[in-house]
Chains A and B, each alone.
Chain A
Amino acid sequence: MSEKPEKFIDENGLRLDGRKIDQIRDIKIEIGILNRADGSCYLEFGNNKIMAAVYGPREVHPRHQQKATKAIVRYKYNMASFSVEDRKRPGPDRRSIEVSKVSREAFEKEIFTELYPKSAIDIFIEILQADAGTRTAAINAASLALADAGIPMRGLISSCAVGKVDDTLILDLNKDEDNYGQADMPIAMSTDGKITLLQMDGHLTQEEFKKGLEMAQQGCREIYELQRKALIDHYNNTQKEIIQDAPVESVKDISTESATEEDPIEDPVISDDVPDNGNTVNDDEIKEDIPDEKEEVILDEDEDNPAIVSDETEDDTLE
């Protein structure tokens, strides 16, 4: 175990691991890595390493737990004995039962359980390496595993913690900040901004709570974008592997076409495509996709084409 640091935030406003106070740790996501699970996700969140698996909807055992009108959601959060510095005694304990309960409740209302009466949706979380904020990381992983399992949901769940060290609010605590800090407040949020989990350990004033909640919500939104990207990348890639000419490409096609045809200063997609097909796409999605595509296209024209032309002319003159 490390000693309590003298200062959590240095004179430049950076934390022990070099992050800014409102910066989340790096996230690495892999979807669909377990063959035998209906949906799965491996997620690294800083030094946390989490495996999530989803099974079902399937038959409920023991039978008396089943509900006649809806599916039950079962969430099992488990820490591997090697996940922490001192060996953890394996099996469920007071803490993991509590984490399982609050996390289950974070998902229950977002899943369309009424579509699958008399069945169970099982979510298994395995903490392979822990470094504070495992419950938030686990929720992020479970959300993606549920999406991978094709379970109908009202939205994805993103989760992030906010805490207080040296009387300063910081986003996404790491281990030292969690162990020696003054407060820790994990939240989970749905796509449309509903808070589905909120816990607090330590003390925050009312003002700090309000500011902290906003910071954590911002963190959740950042994580949502990463989750979104991971899902899109995963399914676009698997599509390409299965079918050669993947129809998923059409999103890109539309945006590149409109970017090349129209004046790049204007935002062409909103004015052109949307009313035409009577299809309103998520505004965020458009903002996300288009600028990137435009940049790429312009770069291609500027750099590649002149190069090719000049090459050809050189060749011609040589011959």
Chain B
Amino acid sequence: MKDKDMDDTLKSEESVLPESHIFVLPGDIIGTVEEFILGNNTFKHGGNVYSTTTGEVNINKKNHVISVIPKVGIPPMIENGDIVIGRVSDLKNAIALVEIALIEGKGEREIVNNQQAAIHISNVKDKYVKDIYYEFSQFDIIKAKVIDTKLMRLSTSGSNLGVIKAYCRKCHVILTKPSGNENKRDKLFCPVCGNYESRKLSSEYSGPAA
């Protein structure tokens, strides 16, 4: 009971001291271990808490966490919940393998913990998927959400997630989205050979440049 109350107060008020925005550099003392729980970009040495980066001190007075909000570009890391853009490098029976190119909102700097990611057939969309072949193809550029960083698993369930650029399996031309055809929704059309293909499309699909 008591714990529950505590949790509620923690959630209700994000108590951050306004005067805590002090500019610090790597190696600056920002507190002592008796005062705070160490948050991001901090380390302890000999009973003191230090900053590891250049930024502003942030103290959460409710749960006594001290952290430093960096004011420099920090090396981008893939984290759970991130939206990533990548290319389908291979298709297996139940998974699509993806090479991640960049994380949305984290700049174009090289990703530190980049490795081959996978979308399992169960994470492609909310509906039944008979065959992953109908949802992705090799070389497709996709947008996906990270659901597990350890095994680097991705999910494309969601209207904005899925294929954002696709190539024709026959002639490798960028496919276009047919307009105004109700029957052919979620289908893509090849402007060169007239081939129709199905994909798990993102609402942000962009065909060839007009």
Contacts and interface: CB of A to CB of B under 8 A. Distances in A.
Do these two chains really belong together in a complex? yes
A235 B54 contact: yes
A151 B28 contact: no
Contact of A156 (B23, B25, B110): B25
A247 B17 CA distance: 13
Contacts of A192: 27, 45
B27 A155 contact: yes
A248 B31 contact: no
B129 interface: no
Contacts of B32: 280
Contacts of B52: 112, 152-154
Interface stretch (A15-23, A142-150, A209-217, A303-311): A142-150
A58 B110 contact: yes
Contacts of A250: 18-19, 21-22
Contacts of A276: 19
B28 A282 contact: yes
A285 interface: yes
Nearest to B40: A152
Interface residues of A, number: 42
Contact of B72 (A119, A149, A277): A149
B112 interface: yes
Contacts of B114: 59
B35 to A, nearest CB: 5
Interface of B: 17-32, 35-36, 41, 43, 45, 50, 52-54, 56-57, 59, 61, 70-75, 109-110, 112, 114
Interface of A: 38-39, 56-59, 112, 116, 119, 147-156, 190-192, 228, 231-232, 235-236, 239, 247-248, 250-251, 254, 273, 276-282, 285
Nearest to A232: B23
A235 B25 CA distance: 11
Which of A148, A190, A250 has the most chain B CB atoms inside 10 A of its CB? Answer: A250
Nearest to A250: B21
Contact of A151 (B19, B30, B31, B75): B75
Contacts of B72: 39, 147-150, 235
Contact of B53 (A58, A150, A278, A285): A150
Contacts of A280: 29-32, 35
A39 B109 CA distance: 11
29 contacts: A38-B75, A57-B110, A57-B112, A58-B112, A59-B114, A112-B43, A116-B75, A149-B73, A149-B75, A152-B26, A153-B52, A156-B27, A191-B26, A191-B28, A231-B25, A235-B54, A235-B71, A248-B23, A250-B18, A250-B22, A273-B19, A277-B59, A278-B35, A278-B36, A279-B17, A279-B30, A279-B31, A280-B29, A285-B28
Contact of A56 (B28, B30, B75): B75
Given A39-B72, A112-B43, 8 more contacts: A38-B75, A57-B110, A150-B75, A254-B19, A278-B35, A279-B57, A280-B30, A282-B24
